[in-house]
Amino acid sequence: MTSRYYLYGIFPTPGPQSLVMPGLDEQPVQAYHLDAFTFLYSMASQKRYLASRSNLLTHEKVLEAAMRQGHRTLLPLQFGLVVTSWEQVEQDLIAPYRDDLGQLFHRLDGCREVSVKVLWDADTELARLMEENPELNHQRNQLVGTQLTLEQVIQIGQRIEAALEKRKQETAEPFRQILSALAKDVIENEPMTDTMIFNAAYLIPWEFEPDFSQAVNEIDQAFGQRLRIRYNNFTAPYHFAQLKP
């Protein structure tokens, strides 16, 4: 029977020796040393793993457990990576990307990834926008009970959409400017929902997290109750550990 190994992440040696916790399929998490790298893995009973919430959380918890043990420099591997031999890992990953992996470890050394997602109530913000812009509000009111041409309806709709987008960008700007100044690197992602107006990952020195968290809180307080902020201060550096093809 062919052995299969599910891979979680890569660490510079010596890395974690093992973790006293189950991985996928309730298999014990183990460490394998290959060249200058240490892989966290568990034996896999499946060729492919469904990206279910439970499986994804297990994958993340393994990496977070290693980080909590003090192994903070790591390259998290994408969910679902199963190999049949360590020779395959050497051939497909280590040999062609050895220098790139070393550079990524150097870049991530002493740093952690945090993320900020900002959400608002679109209906409330639209009402605020209309209240602050009587002319635009008058144009919107023309859409009700007034015979307008299709071109006029489109133009008014576009003006409202543009004004709301401008408001969205102005609201997100403090998060861009203030938080980016505290980070070594920033990756801004597309919003995940219609109510999300900002979604970014930051690479920051580990010891800077209290300052970063304080900055997030101060921006939040400045907006009162207008925004909902999701701040994740502990995650593997998925956004900043990408190998370039």
Taking the C-alpha atoms of residue 73 and residue 207, their distance in angstroms, rounded to an integer, is 14
pLDDT for position 148: 60
Cβ atoms < 10 Å from Cβ of 189:
13
At CA 67, angle to CA 198 and CA 70, rounded to 5?
A: 135
Taking the C-alpha atoms of residue 200 and residue 177, their distance in angstroms, rounded to an integer, is 12
Q: What is the mean pLDDT of residues 215-241?
A: 92
Quick: pLDDT tens for 32-68: 999 899 999 999 999 999 999 999 999 999 999 999 8
Q: What is the mean pLDDT of residues 176-196?
A: 93
Cis preceding linkage at 14, omega within 30: yes
pLDDT for position 234: 87
Per residue in 37-68, is it b (16+ CB within 10 Å) or e — as a string? bbbbbbebeeeebeeeeebeebbbbbbebbbe
Q: What is the mean pLDDT of residues 161-173?
A: 88
The answer to whether residue 245 scores a pLDDT higher than 60 is no
Which pLDDT band, with edges at 50, 70 and 90, does 139 fall under? low
**CA dist 208 to 31, 145, 183, 224, Å?**
30, 56, 9, 25
